Chains A and B, each alone.
Chain A
């Protein structure tokens, strides 16, 4: 039982980070119908920037995180402006191909600047484990969870109540009608990319704190794609719940099944679940259905 709870807690924490990164996919998909394959590299760049600030320049973690977020926002704006703006109004597939190219470029840049050996964050959170009954939680897990939840609440409120958030949802529904309302669609795209870059770098920093940083961290981008698809590519709650489901399943498989088969199953199971769920619910768990009036 203890083992089960332990695995559950790990799953929830990792899953919540997945959820946050999946939000990046969802935002970009919602605003421009494209899938951003460079999401994992955004995450990588974010975590390296933060690591450098903390480890090499001895900037306090909170300040470093804020600088990283600002940097990511600028990166998101820049990428949207330089790489993707020319593809507005072109077939979506070309935009998707552009993001694949972008992911290679970013990965290359990261390699050139930071090399490829694993580096670790200096201890930021205290090492004393927190005890919840019989379950032991390390502070880094607890803090990650808190930070992610705060971000999710913030973003949900943004989309529900803020003028820009509502305008972004409107643009996702009908671009031309949004134009006719006087919404700047370019602005909406740019903000979507900026938020996507920000959430992935938060995710990256947290995962970096948990597992250490190396270039394979960008694989999270691919792993999170099933999360987003599972929840329905265009649903924000979907991304959150999808993230938790995949996180928990992954951690459980790692705990119970991997020892039986000699490991590796953990990496595959999310994708198996993805296929199974999509067979039953093609829009994903919470994807928006096309509303058809007859």
Chain B
């Protein structure tokens, strides 16, 4: 459905962040994109959603295709209209708007205004907490509630593909579990394709169908989740597991094992 082929992204025409990034996101699946800090995960999402422009970034090579149509370099609003919606890192709710107004803004590009009421109910069905808070100013919500709002806002756009940038960031572990189980439900019940970027590999792989691992601006490994979970490198570097179960950090010797993909 969505294909990135050999995409190169430069910021300010100098800093090369993505160096030939390729991935395929199949329809109706959850795809996890994992990687350490600065690997280029967020940049990848912004390249897809067209938000690069507002940060002086640019796709300088390769292409991004949605159903065979080139979308790289298009304006963000056009891409939202085509059905790709990004929930940005750090939630970015509109603090001075109420919860319900935030959700309505999510539906900004929708043409079928009469269905919005029904969709509000749908969001409240996934996130019952939001319904209780709907007249509250969004800035005063807790981190978890704001993340729910950010995802709910995404649902309001009825996207074909939902891009989630670190939905676990700064949220209590228990809530993270809840949020991810809702993401899974959204995928199953609405058929929304989801690309989730995470540092928390454990939780992301627990709901994803397919995983990509990114380092230094390119994909270094990919495969169905079951396969990734068996891979020794992934276990060691992303899941914190050694050969003998959970790793004891006292015994870590960093030279003991090299990543085989380097």
Write the residues of chain A forming the contact surface with B, with a CB cutoff of 8 angstroms: 89, 163, 166-167, 169-170, 172-184, 288, 291, 293
Contacts and interface: CB of A to CB of B under 8 A. Distances in A.
A169 B51 CA distance: 20
Contacts of A175: 54
A174 B51 contact: no
B139 A163 contact: no
A182 B77 contact: yes
B106 to A, nearest CB: 6
Contacts of B104: 163, 166
Q: What are the 7 tightest A-B residue pairs by CB atom distance, in nearest-first order?
A: A182-B80, A291-B139, A182-B109, A177-B92, A173-B94, A182-B77, A170-B105
A169 B104 CA distance: 12
Contacts of A169: 94, 96-97, 101
Given A170-B105, A293-B139, A180 B97 contact: no
Contacts of B153: 181
B105 A181 contact: yes
A259 to B, nearest CB: 45
Interface of B: 49, 51, 54, 75-77, 79-81, 85-88, 92-97, 101-102, 104-106, 108-109, 113, 137, 139-140, 142-143, 153, 157
21 contacts: A89-B54, A163-B104, A166-B97, A166-B104, A173-B94, A173-B95, A174-B95, A176-B54, A177-B94, A180-B76, A180-B80, A180-B86, A180-B88, A180-B92, A181-B80, A181-B157, A182-B85, A182-B157, A288-B96, A291-B95, A293-B142
A167 B139 contact: no
B143 A293 contact: yes
B22 to A, nearest CB: 24
Contact of B51 (A179, A183, A293): A179
Contacts of B97: 166, 169-170, 173
Contacts of B87: 180
Contacts, number: 82
Contact of B92 (A167, A174, A183, A184): A174
B202 to A, nearest CB: 26
A6 B77 CA distance: 53
Contacts of B54: 89, 175-176, 179
Contact of B88 (A166, A167, A173, A176): A176
A114 B86 CA distance: 52
A3 B39 CA distance: 74
A249 B93 CA distance: 40
Contact of B77 (A89, A173, A183, A291): A183
